[in-house]
Amino acid sequence: MKRMTMDEIKAMTDDWITPATAASAMKMDPGRLIEYARTGQLPFATQISGNRVKIGRKSFLKAYGYQEEENRKTDRLELIEKELHTVTLLLTTILMKLDPEFTVYMNKKEAAQ
């Protein structure tokens, strides 16, 4: 069987992957991976039904740093938004300390809202 790569798993569209697929990418024995799934020792989502084990593809990728690109972009945008908010607060505080008229302006602006 051809060894799977994380990029190949990322390119898949299925919600679930087999233990053989995951084990191949992790370079381990599928039987050991199944045992880890049954004993709750894996850092990603698994579904066990009788003798069958399925692994959540997105959870598997996320556990090893292969987060979906869309989520990465959202995370980056949220981080940028938080940093901009912090910078705005810092600049406002500095301006209020340096210029008393700015403080009056800000108080009027807050009262109007």
pLDDT in tens, 36-79: 999 999 999 999 999 999 999 999 999 988 866 555 666 778 88
Answer whether residue 100 is part of any domain: yes
Q: What is the mean pLDDT of residues 77-90?
A: 88
Tell me, yes or no, whether 12 and 59 share the same domain. yes
| pTM, two decimal places | 0.58
Tell me, yes or no, whether 59 and 75 share the same domain. no
Domain count for the chain? 2
**What Rg do the C-alpha atoms of the chain give, in angstroms?**
25
Domain that holds residue 17: 6-63
| pLDDT mean across residues, the chain | 87
Strands 46-49 and 52-56: antiparallel
Q: Residue 7: count other Cβ atoms within 10 Å of its Cβ.
A: 10
Answer whether residue 27 is part of any domain: yes
Q: How confident is the model at residue 2 (pLDDT cuts 50, 70, 90)?
A: confident
Tell me, yes or no, whether 82 and 48 share the same domain. no
